């Protein structure tokens, strides 16, 4: 199997979930990930024990004129790289998980008549998957509404958003101290980081009752870590959390963005959350995700434009003093969770390969 794409955790981790499902089914399976040297896959996959090969490609949508020209120049080389990888590895199936690295691989697989499928994690698909839907054998989506954005007549199957089994298998491992998990996606979120630093002053009188686990991204790591240390908080601050399963298991409350993979993980393990959707997400899909959880009673939505350190601190203190409210949100969150998407995705791929 080749799993192509990545760039961010929202694309990569569903691919890892599918890889692990295949490894449960076939002990001798060979799995190769294909991405770029600039994506999150370059540092995550070696730690996960997966082999990665890279191709020469960069992003196009939302880039400046010169970067777009550079990307167009790289396209022939990315296709050459892709054909070489496919000829050498000879996969029975190619899975595109989104992100610009998936485009050349899935397109090349289609030309070589290798069974292939794309996975779209968001309600509104990205440009790469929209284009690939004209060439791919099947498209797997997380939401029914996504079907209308892909090509007419595309063989589209709703499977959900694949989640790594360990994310929800650990269950709850809460301690006596109120544990707050904060992250803004795989690259961090500057706004959330800065508002949390502002919130420290309002949380000082509660610091003996609170433990903080905070993924900052690289840029804000030192600033945030120093702020917690100076205020005397028990805070575990990291640029990137590799063991999210333990972080979720320890958390009483999560403060985070509302990307599709994050929402799927929250509901799979039944976590209460303050959701702060990224305001510039394509088609505002993060606000739609956050609003859905909020209306279901599984989380609280706070818009980026309304966020302040004082407001964030007030909501954290509210949940600290109202644990029964967290328990209610956890039950609602758990009821929304879908844990079988990776299995459905593996079934779909097996169906494409008649001799599996």
The per-residue pLDDT for range 171-197, each reduced to its tens digit, is 788 888 999 999 997 666 899 999 999
Same domain, 191 and 316: yes
- Provide the domain count of the chain: 2
pLDDT of residue 355: 46
| H-only helix segments in the chain | 9-25, 41-48, 65-89, 102-111, 127-132, 165-169, 190-203, 221-231, 244-250, 260-268, 285-295, 309-321, 323-336, 341-352
For residues 100 and 102, give the distance between their C-alpha atoms in angstroms, rounded to a whole number: 5
Same domain, 140 and 15: yes
Range of the structural domain that residue 95 is part of: 2-163+339-352
Same domain, 345 and 329: no
In contact, 208 and 241? CB cutoff 8 Å: no
CATH code (residue 290): 3.40.50.2000
Same domain, 128 and 267: no
Same domain, 146 and 94: yes
CA 174 from chain centre, in angstroms, equals 23
Report the alpha-carbon angle 351-352-356, nearest 5: 65
Same domain, 13 and 132: yes
Task: Tell me which residue has tokens 């393990």.
Answer: 269
* pLDDT digit string, tens, across residues 53-72: 999 887 656 566 677 776 67
| Sheet order of strands, 253-256 included | 234-238, 210-215, 178-183, 253-256, 273-275, 299-301
Same domain, 7 and 132: yes
In contact, 149 and 130? CB cutoff 8 Å: yes
Same domain, 222 and 290: yes
In contact, 188 and 222? CB cutoff 8 Å: no
Same domain, 151 and 178: no
Same domain, 120 and 230: no
Overall pTM > 0.85: yes
* pLDDT digit string, tens, across residues 249-278: 999 999 999 999 999 999 999 999 999 999
Same domain, 265 and 199: yes
For residues 112 and 100, give the distance between their C-alpha atoms in angstroms, rounded to a whole number: 20
Same domain, 9 and 151: yes
């Amino acid at each position: 199997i080749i799993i192509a794409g990545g760039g961010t955790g929202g694309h990569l981790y569903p691919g890892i979930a599918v890889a692990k499902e295949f490894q449960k089914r076939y002990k001798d399976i060979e799995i190769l990930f294909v991405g770029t040297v600039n994506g999150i896959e370059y540092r995550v996959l070696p730690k996960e024990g997966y082999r990665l090969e890279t191709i020469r490609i960069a992003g196009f949508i939302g880039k400046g004129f010169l970067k777009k020209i550079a990307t167009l120049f790289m396209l022939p080389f990315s296709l050459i790289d892709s054909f070489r990888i496919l000829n050498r590895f000879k996969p029975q199936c190619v899975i595109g998980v989104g992100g610009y690295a998936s485009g050349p691989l899935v397109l090349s697989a289609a030309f070589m008549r290798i069974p292939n499928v794309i996975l779209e994690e968001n309600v509104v698909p990205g440009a790469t998957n929209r284009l690939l839907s004209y060439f791919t054998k099947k498209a797997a989506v997380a939401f029914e509404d996504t079907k209308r954005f892909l090509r007419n007549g595309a063989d589209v199957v709703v499977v959900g958003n694949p989640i790594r089994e360990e994310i929800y298998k650990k269950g709850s491992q809460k301690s006596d101290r109120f544990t707050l998990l904060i992250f803004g996606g795989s690259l961090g979120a500057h706004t959330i980081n800065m508002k949390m630093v502002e919130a420290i002053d309002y949380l000082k009188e509660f610091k003996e009752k609170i433990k903080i686990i905070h993924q900052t991204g690289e840029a804000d790591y030192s600033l945030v870590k120093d702020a917690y240390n100076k205020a005397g908080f028990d805070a575990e601050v990291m640029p990137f959390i590799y063991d999210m399963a333990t972080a979720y298991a320890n958390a009483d409350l999560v403060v985070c963005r509302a990307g599709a993979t994050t929402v799927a993980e929250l509901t799979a393990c039944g976590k209460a959350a303050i959701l702060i959707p990224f305001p510039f997400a394509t088609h505002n899909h993060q606000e739609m995700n956050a609003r859905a959880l909020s209306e279901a009673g599984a989380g609280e939505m706070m818009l980026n434009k309304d966020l302040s350190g004082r407001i964030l601190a007030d909501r954290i203190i509210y949940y600290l003093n109202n644990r029964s409210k967290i328990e209610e949100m956890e039950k609602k969150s758990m009821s929304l969770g879908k844990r079988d998407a990776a299995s459905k995705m593996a079934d779909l791929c097996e169906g494409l390969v008649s001799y599996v």
